[in-house]
Amino acid sequence: MKSKKVNLNEILEKISKLEARLDEIAPVSKRKFPSKKEQIKDIENNINTWNEKFPSVDPQFELAKMLDWLKANNKRKKDYKAFFRNWLRKASNSIGNNTGINHSYVFGCNTKKCSTETSKYKDMYFFCKECNKEKSIIKIIKN
């Protein structure tokens, strides 16, 4: 192999040109965000907008929950507005999920000869009189 001589000044010049181009693009990691206090104040000042966008949740209560969570977990965010928006999305998606999906559980034995029992509770215990064994969930039915 032939070794090629590399001019250090040329490399440094290319690197500085690339860095200048990256500064023009200004990715999210290089953006300057306001301080945490300013971002939280902006969220509080626009609480009516959050009420309109997320009518199924209480944004003031969710903001208090979010701030408590951040403090309890010792977390910091660059963009609190984006974090709050995602927090509200998750809160609005979780409302009503427990009552919206109903399941029925079919309990039976390993042998197919025995009778089955159906319950809407998955932690039920059924005892098979034919096998003298406890029945287990063999099928889940989504209603």
Q: What is the pTM of this model?
A: 0.49
19 has a pLDDT exceeding 70: yes
- Please give the full DSSP string across 60-116, using - where no structure is assigned: HHHHHHHHHHHHHTT---S-HHHHHHHHHHHHHHHTTHHHH--EEEEEE-SSTTS--
Encode pLDDT of 48-59 as tens digits: 898 888 888 889
- In the beta sheet, which residues pair with residue 139? 106
> Mean pLDDT across the stretch 49-70?
89
pLDDT band (50, 70, 90) for residue 141: confident
pLDDT band (50, 70, 90) for residue 27: low
With b for 16 or more beta-carbon neighbours within 10 A and e for fewer, the 47-76 pattern comes to eeebeeebeebbbeebbeebeeebeeeeee
| CB atoms closer than 10 angstroms to residue 89 | 13
| CB atoms closer than 10 angstroms to residue 86 | 12
pLDDT band (50, 70, 90) for residue 88: very high
pLDDT at 46: 92
Ordered by start, the domain boundaries in the chain are 34-98, 102-142
How many angstroms separate the CA atoms of 115 and 130, rounded? 9
| CB atoms closer than 10 angstroms to residue 138 | 13
